[in-house]
Amino acid sequence: MEYIRILLVDDHAVVREGYKMLLQEHPDLKVVAEAGDGETACQLYRQKAPDLVIMDISLPGISGIEAVRRIVSRDENAKVAIFSFHDDMIFVEQALQVGALGYITKNSEPEILMQALRTIAEGGIFLDPQIAQKLAFQKSIGGSSVLESLSPREFEITRLMAEGLGIHEIAQQLSLNYKTVANYNTQIKRKLNVSSVADITRLAIRHGLIEA
């Protein structure tokens, strides 16, 4: 029997075990690799070439959104589903912008997740119904976050800055040179209309990028 080969990415081993137990109830779904961070996820994607990736956003090191960006930049046909506690629209929009084909919250019923995985594996797009409703409502009223002006790369650097990383550390983590990150730093502050890292941190906490 053919089955959908899945790379499971979550930084909590106990959570991954729970997912695997759930997926084992469905013979057409099989976890062939798992990772606890974004860097490992990118490496395993190259090695295992899974049919589908289930990706959390909050990971040690690079975020799930950055990991998706790297995977899709190497394989434009990659199929990635974001599965996260974050339900703020800025995360949804950034995930879709970098190439994720679905977004499901961890508060969803298991049946929603299974439907999403099969839809995405077949090349479709799937949004958690509650997420889709919130996204449509936000668009209808013209609501937006100041963070929406950021590109995916700027979004990732903003998150790392808010977590307290310096320019050298960010450059190393994202495999960029110092000058490039310094330029991004200037662009981000201009776009967000802030003057310091402390301002960025407060903004990141307010919008749920990091925890207080």
Split the chain (212 residues) into runs of 10 and give each run's mean pLDDT: 90 92 92 96 97 94 94 96 89 92 92 93 91 75 70 90 92 92 93 90 82 64
Last residue of a domain, one of 141, 164, 192: 141
pLDDT at 53: 97
pLDDT at 49: 96
Judgement on whether residues 153 and 135 belong to the same structural domain of the protein: no
**CATH number assigned to the domain comprising residue 194:** 1.10.10.10
The pTM of this model reads 0.84
Last residue of a domain, one of 109, 141, 173: 141
pLDDT at 125: 93
Judgement on whether residues 82 and 104 belong to the same structural domain of the protein: yes
Judgement on whether residues 22 and 87 belong to the same structural domain of the protein: yes
pLDDT at 34: 96
CA angle 172, 177, 182 (to 5 degrees): 100
On whether residue 212 sits in a domain, the answer given is no
Beta-carbon neighbour count of residue 148 at 10 Å?
15
Residue 195: C-alpha distances to residues 170, 185, 190 (Å) = 19, 10, 8
Residue 22 and residue 70 in contact, taking contact as beta carbons nearer than 8 Å = no
Judgement on whether residues 163 and 193 belong to the same structural domain of the protein: yes
Give the structural domain span for 136.
4-141
Judgement on whether residues 194 and 100 belong to the same structural domain of the protein: no
Residue 64 and residue 84 in contact, taking contact as beta carbons nearer than 8 Å = yes
Q: What φ, ψ does residue 73 adopt, rounded to 5°? A: -65, -25
Judgement on whether residues 93 and 181 belong to the same structural domain of the protein: no
Residue 77 and residue 104 in contact, taking contact as beta carbons nearer than 8 Å = no
Judgement on whether residues 157 and 122 belong to the same structural domain of the protein: no
Last residue of a domain, one of 106, 122, 141: 141
Q: How far is 28 from 24, CA to CA, in rounded Å?
A: 9
One-letter amino acid at 120 equals I
Judgement on whether residues 163 and 133 belong to the same structural domain of the protein: no
Structural domains in the chain (count): 2
Judgement on whether residues 25 and 113 belong to the same structural domain of the protein: yes
Pairing state between β 52-55 and 4-9: parallel
Residues 106-144 as b/e (b if ≥16 CB within 10 A, e otherwise) read eebeeebbbbbbbbbbeeeebbbeebeebbeebeeeeee
Judgement on whether residues 96 and 178 belong to the same structural domain of the protein: no
pLDDT at 181: 94
